[in-house]
């Protein structure tokens, strides 16, 4: 039965880096595995809005895409901010092999990393609708696995820990 590995966390937390590592290891064992990333989803499907309502639409559509793939016996490693409790709860009910991985990182560290300049621009008031600044982030209440990525160290160990738990 196919798996959904749902890697969630704030922008810059390292969820995509960790998710790609998990994807590569899983794909070595099970070739019917794909990688879905929230940013790539937006690029491919033209989802451009970032308000809370627009983010909810995107989140629901990402879930639909994952279900479409899983129904075809394809494993999915999905990396997305996923700030909605209702999405987490829906996933837990809908998918039998659902593994929610919460990649945590302190906001102070995210502001330091700020590769996309989201946090710095939001804090200056230059942009709006940034999760963790002016949109509240609802951390997953009961994730399958919690990964503290406040320090950029131990990437291989974090990936191996996740894979050990899901394979």
Q: Is residue 8 part of a domain?
A: yes
pLDDT at residue number 86: 94
Q: How many domains does the chain have?
A: 1
**Residue 130 domain-assigned?**
no
| 122 assigned to some structural domain | no
Q: Is residue 129 part of a domain?
A: no
Q: Is 13 exposed, middle or buried (0-12, 13-18, 19+ CB in 10 A)?
A: buried
What is the predicted pLDDT for the residue at 93?
96
8 A C-beta contact, residue 157 and residue 109? no
Output DSSP code: residue 80: E
Residue 126: inside a domain? no
Q: What is the pLDDT of residue 115?
A: 86
CATH number reported for the structural domain that contains residue 158 in this entry:
3.40.50.300
User: Looking at the domain assignment, is residue 119 inside a domain?
Assistant: no
Tell me, yes or no, whether 131 lies in a domain.
no
What integer pLDDT is reported at residue 129 of this predicted model?
95
Mark the ranges of the chain whose per-residue pLDDT is less than 70.
Answer: none
* pLDDT for 48: 81
Q: Determine, yes or no, domain membership for 115.
A: no
Which residue numbers are catalytic? 82
What local confidence, expressed as pLDDT, does residue 62 receive?
A: 97
The residue behind tokens 């503290």 is 148
Domain holding 9, by residue range, is 4-108+139-166
- Give the global pTM: 0.95
User: What is residue 47's predicted lDDT score, i.e. its pLDDT?
Assistant: 85
């Amino acid at each position: 039965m196919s798996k959904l590995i749902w890697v969630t966390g704030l922008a810059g937390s390292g969820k995509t880096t960790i998710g790609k590592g998990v994807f590569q290891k899983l794909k070595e064992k099970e070739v019917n595995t794909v990688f879905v990333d929230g940013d790539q989803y937006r690029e491919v499907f033209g989802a451009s809005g970032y308000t809370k309502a627009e983010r909810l639409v995107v989140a629901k559509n990402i879930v639909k895409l994952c279900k479409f793939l899983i129904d075809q016996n394809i494993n999915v490693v999905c990396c997305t901010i996923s700030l909605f409790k209702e999405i987490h709860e829906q996933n837990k009910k809908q998918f039998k092999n659902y593994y929610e991985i919460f990649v945590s990182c302190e906001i102070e560290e995210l502001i330091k990393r700020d590769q996309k300049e989201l946090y710095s621009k939001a804090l200056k008031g230059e942009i709006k609708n940034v999760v963790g600044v002016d949109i509240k982030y609802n951390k997953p209440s009961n994730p399958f696995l919690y990964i503290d990525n406040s320090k950029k160290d131990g990437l291989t160990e974090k990936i191996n820990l996740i894979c050990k738990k899901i394979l």
